[in-house]
Structure 1
Amino acid sequence: MPEPVLSLKDACLTLQGNAGPVEILKGISLDVERGQSIGLVGPSGSGKSSLLMLMGGLESATSGAVKALGQDLTTMNEDALARFRRGNMGVVFQSFHLIPTMTALENVATPLELAGHKDAFERAEAELTAVGLGARMHHYPAQMSGGEQQRVALARAAVPRPAILLADEPTGNLDGPNGQAIMDLLFGLRDRHGATLVLVTHSPELAARCDRVIHLRDGGIETETRATQTRAGVPA
């Protein structure tokens, strides 16, 4: 049995609030296999985004274990986590997080430049073309629509060809047609690069496209549902 791409064992997250400690996640155990698409769903405050942050090493588990690609994220410091993410993970947020003083091309090339790739701009240009922005790559974020900005964010996340692609409400700020286009692009990137995809969503349509849907409530896993038919080569 191959090692899971992501593995959480009794992972807990407690944060300090004004009234004292608050349990955000309570004993999460979950394995994600290579190439699977996982939807994290549940009511607001159920812990979906926090779970995604644990998987990406953007939050540190208070207790338990969180592994990605066989590496224990809970033992890494911030610099080591940043290096690990840069080489292995792509992260897409609801609010885009583009650098406003950089063009689309410069935004997408940045992670490759930081990693020392000589062909950063060539690869960024190819990725922007793949998401339908070949004619917009020299525009700044303020000159682009929300849907276009999210395409840039997707291209930036995908251009290093990460093994793991994490997306937090990637269609949350978009209207219906743009949201549908981003859904198609997300799964297209997953298929094109062979990445494992984990996404947080309130969209039933987006969740329905995933191989597995994890339902969270009150910081724990309530239920899990699996697709009746999965893509070739990916187990249900």
Structure 2
Amino acid sequence: MIATVLSLENAALSLDGNAGQVDILHDITLSVHKGETLGLIGPSGSGKSSLLMLMGGLEQATGGQVTALGQNLTRMNEDELARFRRNSMGVVFQNFHLIPTMTALENVATPLELAGHKDAFQRAEAELESVGLTHRRDHYPAQLSGGEQQRVALARASAPRPQILLADEPTGNLDETNGAAIIDLLLGLRDRHGATLVLVTHSHTLARRCDRVVRLRDGRIADDTRQEAAE
């Protein structure tokens, strides 16, 4: 029996806005299995990124329940969620979120150091090598291209060997060539570390390479399709 890594049961998300409460997600029930690659697609404003944030405990559900690796994220406080992500999840954002005052190597080593790994810098070097950036290890983010910054972000997310890897529009700020390279690297990291991958994307090329695609519309699941021919 395939293990369930992520599970949402009637999960909802509402946020307070200037005009009052805004309902973003409604009654989301969804399970993600170990080793699966799940693509979240849909028009802008459909709730894709918000759903990814719920899965990572970066937003707290205002209804229902979110469970990851058997842990109920809806019952955790912010410190507990931060520790859980540090130990079990890697997150890649569209805008990279690298620390500008740190080199590429230091950016990748930071989560490893926070997790108490004594070989943080050795592991960070190995991850940079895996994304083809050994020669840029001592460069700062401002000295790197957009594609290189996203490679550093991928290396940082994968260095702690997370069981779950979440990616929010990982190719959104890149041109077609760099975007294709990032797709290959992302799927390669998934395969190498055996992680479960959930990603938000507008890219049809990336969506086609997922095992399964969930389409959102107006904060609800409109379609859930398993792709037999996923690469």
Q: Structure 1-normalised TM-score?
A: 0.96
Offset from partner CA, 1:177-227 (integer Å, 9 cap, x none): 000000000000000000000000000000000000000000000001111
Aligned to 1:142: 142
Aligned to 1:178: 178
| In 2, Cα distance between equivalents of 1:16 and 1:105 | 39
Offset from partner CA, 1:56-84 (integer Å, 9 cap, x none): 00000001010000000000000000000
Q: How far apart are residue 165 of structure 1 and its match? A: 0.2
| Aligned residue type for 1:12 | A
| In 2, Cα distance between equivalents of 1:228 and 1:153 | 30
For the aligned residue pairs, the C-alpha RMSD in angstroms reads 0.9
| In 2, Cα distance between equivalents of 1:224 and 1:2 | 18
Q: How far apart are residue 17 of structure 1 and its match? A: 1.0
Tell me if structure 1 keeps the 8 A contact 2:8–2:66: yes
Once the two structures are superposed, the pairs formed by residues 127-206 of structure 1 within 5 Å of their partners are 127-206=127-206
SS in structure 2 at match of 1:138: coil
Offset from partner CA, 1:157-181 (integer Å, 9 cap, x none): 0000000000000000000100000
| In 2, Cα distance between equivalents of 1:14 and 1:192 | 37
Tell me if structure 2 keeps the 8 A contact 1:93–1:169: yes
| Aligned residue type for 1:211 | D
| In 1, Cα distance between equivalents of 2:3 and 2:50 | 23
Q: How far apart are residue 109 of structure 1 and its match? A: 0.1
Tell me if structure 1 keeps the 8 A contact 2:101–2:140: yes
Offset from partner CA, 1:14-67 (integer Å, 9 cap, x none): 111111111100000000000000000000000000000000000000010100
| Aligned residue type for 1:53 | M
| In 2, Cα distance between equivalents of 1:199 and 1:69 | 18
| In 2, Cα distance between equivalents of 1:230 and 1:18 | 42
Q: How far apart are residue 230 of structure 1 and its match? A: 5.5
| In 1, Cα distance between equivalents of 2:37 and 2:228 | 14
| Aligned residue type for 1:160 | P
Offset from partner CA, 1:84-112 (integer Å, 9 cap, x none): 00000000000000000000000000000
Offset from partner CA, 1:91-137 (integer Å, 9 cap, x none): 00000000000000000000000011100000000000000001111
Instruction: Could you tell me which runs of 5 or more consecutive residues in structure 1 were left unpaired when the two chains were aligned.
Output: 232-236
| Aligned residue type for 2:119 | D
Tell me if structure 2 keeps the 8 A contact 1:3–1:70: no
Q: How far apart are residue 229 of structure 1 and its match? A: 3.6
Aligned to 1:119: 119
Aligned to 1:101: 101
Aligned to 1:110: 110
> 1:81 aligned to 2:81?
yes
| Aligned residue type for 1:144 | L
Instruction: Could you tell me which runs of 5 or more consecutive residues in structure 2 were left unpaired when the two chains were aligned.
Output: none
| In 1, Cα distance between equivalents of 2:229 and 2:208 | 12
Aligned to 1:234: none
Aligned to 1:221: 221
Aligned to 1:71: 71
Identity %: 74
Tell me if structure 1 keeps the 8 A contact 2:41–2:201: yes
SS in structure 2 at match of 1:216: strand
- Structure 1 runs of 4+ aligned residues shifted over 6 Å read none
